[in-house]
Structure 1
Amino acid sequence: MSVQSQVPDGVLPDLSARAGRPFGVYIHVPFCATRCGYCDFNTYTPGELGGANPDGWLAALRTELRLGAARLRAAPAADTVFVGGGTPSLLGAAGLGAVLDAVRESFGLAPDAEVTTEANPESTSPEFFAGLRAAGYTRVSLGMQSTAVHVLAALDRVHSPGRALDAAREAAAAGFDHVSLDLIYGTPGESDDDLARSVEAAIGAGIDHLSAYALVVEDGTALARRVRRGEIPAPDDDVLARRYELLDDRLREAGFHWYEVSNWARPGGECRHNIGYWDGGEWWGAGPGAHSYADATRWWNVKHPNAYATQLAAGALPVADFETLDDATAHVEEVLLRIRLRSGLPTAALSADEQTRAEIAISDGLLRRDGERLVLTDRGRLLADAVVRDLLG
């Protein structure tokens, strides 16, 4: 099991980045114009901020990055940067440029660094994308969810069905070689045809990456309350499996390959930052509620932007707490994460008993051998969590 700290806020053990591992920086932007009914991320609408604002957040972020770079010994220049949220595009191109400058000034950027920002299609424009390219961003990830009006309404999304597609084309016209769209499938009221049309539209927009996630009803969200009241049905597992197969088949026909259970790309379009999460990389997560991982230690920041800024103003890292992963916990996480990748899990990472259980999964058609690695089959991807549970016993 992991060992959780019993120390005051803002205190971390001695940490040193491990040589040879990818190193990334994640930036959490906590601002949203409205709250989507399915979202349980650490985000805040204007009425929930209690006086916090983007300028104060950015000043605090610069301080955290500076303190973090000094705190993490042997930290290399960042191979990847990912700005997520929340709605990073609310900062505008100039604000996102300032965020990237703060990373450059603290951790530094590797010469071939991948730099990604998420964006809400409604807060983008051709000028926005041109400004991002000039600032040094190399990838854009746009929230699309669906092209069906009734599906977007069920998710409380405010953008029009075609805006995400137009934004993807605008990003490409601004010089972005890597543009991603996100879909959500399994929303109450969605049909197979709704999803098929959304996938076709995404492919037609000329993107090189697509993420697709089954709708999850998270406790505490407006969506969960509607399901509990019986206003809408909960997602059906059989329907979700059929929708996954539908989108996987069409993406494969269009030249996309799955490289993680929920992510597909054309060759060269894979997101290096996210691969780092799944494949044993380390990262510093900056911003309210952000999580980090280095030197077998995981830590997470205080959540509210005001508490975040207050702690940094006092000269302390805004750490809420941390835990040190022991060997057993680290092993569980390695199996859980690496099995999701198309590159698979090294057989040598498993114990003798786990290798025996892997043989059963192979005979059941859930895993296949690829040299010295174990890779999920198409059927295995539908049951990835169960495969992990069976492997670990």
Structure 2
Amino acid sequence: MPSALPDGDAVPRDGALPPGTQLGGHGFGVYVHVPFCASRCGYCDFNTYTAAELGGGASRDAYAGTVLAELALAATVVAPPRVDTVFVGGGTPTLLDPDDLARILDAIDRTWGLAAGAEVTTEANPESVTPASLQRLRKAGFTRVSLGMQSTAPGVLQILDRRHTAGRAPAAALEAREAGFDHVNLDLIYGTPGESADDFAASLDAAVRAGVDHVSAYALIVEEGTRLAARMRRGELPYPSDDVAADRYLAAEAALDAAGFSWYEVSNWATSEGARCRHNLLYWAGGDWWGLGPGAHSHVGGVRWWNVKHPSAYAGRLAEGASPGHGREVLSAADRRMEDVMLRLRLASGLPLSALDGAGRAAAARAVGDGLLVERAGSVVLTLRGRLLADAVVRDLT
């Protein structure tokens, strides 16, 4: 089940931000959380709900209208010059009717205005889309689709409790291209118990042959409270191996580089600068965004807040005309500096040395000497070995 939210400070009923809060000028995005799934994957602790878990007070059919109620409240709180990116995530957003997703996107445009050439992404499970639904989403203004592939090995998909067949994700990617999507991403997970090197190589090959222009690859993380964690605790499955994960990462880098992809963030590769996920780059560069939906997080001008998690509580707050915010925090200068280092160091563009204090610059010099960083034009960039140890490098620099 989803993990608990922190409490934080109280959010005013009208959602107003602290006096003096200003947009940061690094772009503005909108995240829309769709909390519905047909079934729960064994490794997932995201804020998602199956029909059996949902209970009363919330429904999939009424969800778009509830999101629009939060958007109306948001319009009274912030007035960005434009919306640069929209990302609809979940859950499985494509369990909603394409007309509902189109209605939400149109409302965002009418409320704040989409920038010319705005990136508009939806996540999707491969089995939750068809050629017809993809065409309807493209017509509605979606420009990018991110498909949860995870693997093409049937045994791995079974351990992860994925519902789609081994070939469905590459097929859905081809259908998205045929529907006219500018950009298509496939997500992979590596290091699942029972996955062989050949299994992962086959998944990488299938992703490349599907003609996508973006691939994300993440090591399996075992979250407490999930079915997968329980199985490992009982000894039914072995825990993931750090050494295996490192081998898989190196295999991903080699295969994707050979296919014309370049890394731009530790876990993300794209065929060109234009294929990079601009919404995620906005997060990593310290931009502002409003998160719509239960459990969604937002950030404006150093203020971060998060909504109540359950769809019923979320709908209830908005029905009363109140903000669905559960709690918030005002980031200190030290917090913002630490997050800036943590996020920007993971990017291929690197971290300016000017963002570090004296101790951080000394740690960066040591990391350069150890072959974990390389210095380029006043910035430090992770080497391939440094990417394998990125979390440790970040800790040393902060």
Q: For the superposition of Structure 1 and Structure 2, which TM-score range results when normalised by the shorter chain?
A: over 0.9
- Deviations along 1:139-197, one digit per CA (max 9) or x if unpaired, are 00001000000000000000001011110000000111200000000000000000000
Question: 1:197-251, CA deviations, whole angstroms, 9 ceiling, x for partnerless residues?
Answer: 0000000000000000000000100000001111001100000000000011110
Question: Given the two structures, how large is their TM-score scaled by the length of structure 2?
Answer: 0.95
The SS at the match of 1:61 is helix
| Among candidates 67, 88, 91, match of residue 86 of structure 1 | 91
Q: Distance in 1 between matches of 2:173 and 2:103?
A: 23
> Is the Cα–Cα contact under 8 Å of residues 12 and 322 in structure 1 kept in the other structure?
no
The residue type equivalent to 2:54 in the other structure is L
Does 1:119 pair with 2:131?
no
Find the residue that maps to 1:303 and give its secondary structure.
Answer: coil
2:285 aligned with 1:279: yes
Given residue 46 of structure 1, which amino acid in structure 2 is its aligned partner?
Answer: A
SS of match in other structure, 1:71: coil
Distance in 1 (alpha carbons) for counterparts of 2:254 and 2:194: 22
1: CA distance, partners of 2:355 / 2:306 = 27
Question: SS of the residue aligned with 1:389?
Answer: helix
SS of match in other structure, 1:26: strand
Asked if the contact 1:4–1:324 (Cα under 8 Å) also holds between the matched residues in 2, the reply is no
Q: Name the structure 2 match of 1:342.
A: 348
For residues 375 and 44 of structure 2, the distance between their equivalents in structure 1, rounded to whole angstroms, comes to 37
Q: Let me know the Cα RMSD of the aligned residues.
A: 1.5
Q: CA deviation at 1:20?
A: 2.5
Contact 2:14 2:73 in 1 (8 A): no
Q: Closer, same or farther in 2 for the Cα pair 1:70/1:246, shift >3 Å?
A: same
Q: Residue 7 and residue 124 in structure 1: after superposition, are their counterparts in 2 closer, same or farther (change >3 A)? A: closer
Cα distance in structure 1, aligned partners of 2:205 and 2:389: 26
> What is the aligned partner in structure 1 of residue 338 from structure 2?
332
1:188 aligns with 2:214: no
Pick closer, same or farther for the CA change 1:101–1:48 going to 2, 3 Å.
same
Match for 1:57: what amino acid?
Y
1:45 alignment partner, one of 44, 50, 72: 50
Match of 2:113 in 1: 108
SS at match of 1:255: coil
Q: Which residue in 2 is equivalent to 1:13? A: 17
1:258 match: 263
Matched, 1:226 2:228: no
Matches within 5 A, 1:52-201: 52-72=58-78, 74-201=79-206
CA contact (8 A) 2:11 2:325 kept: no
8 Å contact kept, 1:122–1:163: yes
State how far apart, in whole Å, the 1-side matches of 2:38 and 2:247 are: 34
Q: Deviations over 1:317-352 (max 9, x none)?
A: 100000000011111111111101001111101111
Distance 1:115 1:11 in 2: 25
Percent identity of equivalent pairs: 59
Amino acid at match of 1:284: W
Aligned-partner Cα distance in 2 for 1:6–1:365: 45
**Distance 1:334-1:3 versus aligned 2 partners, 3 A rule:** farther
**Cα offset, 1:10, TM superposition:** 6.2
Q: Counterpart of 1:14 in structure 2: which amino acid?
A: P
Partners of 2:8 and 2:356 lie apart in 1 by 25
Shift in CA distance, 19/218, structure 1 to aligned 2, threshold 3 Å: closer
Unaligned runs of 5+ in 2: 1-5
Describe the shift of the 1:17–1:266 C-alpha distance in structure 2 as closer, same or farther (beyond 3 A).
farther
Question: Is structure 2 residue 221 aligned with structure 1 residue 205?
Answer: no
> 2:303 aligned to 286, 289, 297, which one?
297
Q: SS state of the match for residue 55, structure 1? A: coil
Residue 3 of structure 2 aligns with which residue?
A: none
Aligned partner of residue 13 in structure 1, secondary structure:
coil
Judge which range, 62-71 or 299-308, deviates more. 62-71
| Mapped partners of 2:32, 2:259: distance in 1 | 32
Residues 15 and 77 in structure 2, CA contact (< 8 A), matched pair in contact too: no
Give, as a single letter, the amino acid of the residue that structure 2 aligns with 1:5. D
Question: Residues of 2 paired with 1:276 and 1:348: CA distance?
Answer: 20
Q: 8 Å contact 1:3–1:326 — kept in the other structure?
A: no
Aligned partners of 1:294 and 1:46: how far apart in 2? Answer: 33
Q: List per-residue Cα deviations over 1:341-369 (Å, max 9, x = no partner).
A: 00111110111121011100000000111
Q: TM-score scaled to structure 1, two decimals?
A: 0.97
The letter for the 2-side match of 1:280 is G
User: Would you say the 8 A contact 1:121–1:159 is kept in 2?
Assistant: yes
Q: Which one of the candidate residues 224, 235, 250 is aligned to 2:240? A: 235
**Deviates most, 323-332 or 94-103:** 94-103
Equivalent residues of 2:24, 2:300 under 8 A apart: no
